[in-house]
Structure 1
């Protein structure tokens, strides 16, 4: 699993309109911060492999190859360790999601420059291009960041049991929806907030289906059909 390069030293970071803050012991020295980060990265690997319930001080210490006393020094209890692991995960996701859409911005601008909203054929071509952009995003997630998707679902499930994670989960969801809302505003949606929520749900479903059923051959055709149908409905392209 890839991780962002920014420090996780307890300083707040704005994600989805919320300032994320780490709960564990704050650090000031570089080597101490590196050890703390090593512990959080190890905990994330355990989440992917065993689920959130697999995160225990002893298991994380073994995974991180550090003394047990190190995990209890930085995180007074398992709640702080899990919360900070989720916080790192959310920061990682925000950075990755933002980077992808920035790279895709030129494709979106090109497609919009050729769109004639009054022409049904032009809207159909535009829907095809937006579908290509969306399916490429999903395939990148499935092929290169499947661990991230697995961890995301593990944390979503844990939020049902652990209310401490819910504000962090909200910021994670809000960042995703805000990005989609901006996207739909750019392409002329009359209800970008609603379209963002609907399309966000489709993306999550398609990613889950890809994780469970695969994303090649007939499965890929099915994933594309789901995304294309939703985009056509949002753009007013019907068959």
Structure 2
């Protein structure tokens, strides 16, 4: 959670004024800042709030708790965020920006593997491929998806915990819902593009279904006891889902 906010903005083309990379604009609700020192303090407060979300859930975010976590005066948190709703909303917005940077980096890293898999299609629908080539294609897709999930679980566990905390809070706080839709779009847009390229008749629906499978597998892996990931379970479910979608 120590990612730089400026790096996240650079990666996504986003800023505190609300510009975005083609999705609905991300907009901060708290007091706007013009000086670098003020922006730095504001970011420190939001990053502290994000650590509290991971540790205690969204309901643990209170002005006094955040001030203590950020090691700033209580007056600083109330200056930048007039009420707790603005503080929570802006913390979620920061989380989405950081997540978009991480997601963009993953796809850039995985682009070669994705292109190798797509090259197997040679302009054909997966169902038209020979059984052997089709199995190789599905295997490459599963390898890519397993790599993504394992990286999430091993290297970004705090991110997944925060993600689910914010999802739950969206049921209570309607101000978070536009931010949540923006967050979902990063994964869904990429998956929809992929399923469209492989000939899906309903790429948007396939993207939603596959994203739901990923989320369920991540959740099950997080709540299972022990430190070892059940990669066989992850792979089996993804093979089944991808095979069904590409029929």
Q: Shared fold (TM-score greater than 0.5)?
A: yes
Aligned to 1:133: 144
Q: Is structure 2 residue 76 aligned with structure 1 residue 70?
A: yes
Structure 1 segments unaligned to the other structure (5+ residues): none
1:90 aligns with 2:102: no
Offset from partner CA, 1:73-125 (integer Å, 9 cap, x none): 10001010000000101111111112111211111111221336431211111
Which residue is 2:182 aligned to? Answer: 171
Distance in 2 between the 1:140 and 1:56 partners?
Answer: 31
Q: TM-score scaled by structure 2?
A: 0.90
Which residue of the other structure, out of 29, 35, 45, is the alignment partner of 1:29? 35
C-alpha distance in structure 1 between counterparts of 2:115 and 2:15, whole Å: 38
Match of 1:159 in 2: 170
| CA deviation after TM superposition for structure 1 residue 194, in Å | 1.2
Corresponding pairs, count:
235
* Structure 2, unpaired ranges of 5+: none
SS of equivalent to 1:203:
helix
Q: Deviations over 1:126-149 (max 9, x none)?
A: 101100000000000000000000
1:115-126 alignment runs, 5 A limit: 115=121, 117=126, 118=128, 119-126=130-137
Equivalent-residue separation in structure 1 for 2:30 and 2:100 (angstroms): 21
Following superposition, the deviation at residue 158 of structure 1 comes to 0.3
Distance in 2 between residues matched to 1:149 and 1:198, nearest whole Å: 19
> What's the secondary structure of 2:25's corresponding residue?
strand
Q: Is the 8 A contact 2:5 2:94 kept in 1?
A: no
Task: Provide the rounded CA distance (Å) in 1 between the counterparts of 2:39 and 2:83.
Answer: 18
The list of structure 1 runs, each at least 4 consecutive aligned residues, that deviate by more than 4 angstroms after superposition, is none
Partner of 1:40: 46
- 2-side partners of 1:17 and 1:113: how far apart? 29
Contact 2:2–2:47 (Cα < 8 Å) also in 1: no
Contact 1:15/1:175 (8 A) holds in 2: no
CA offset digits 1:20-74 (Å, max 9, x no partner): 1101011111111000000000000000000000000000000000000100010
Cα distance in 2, alignment partners of residues 110 and 68 from structure 1: 54
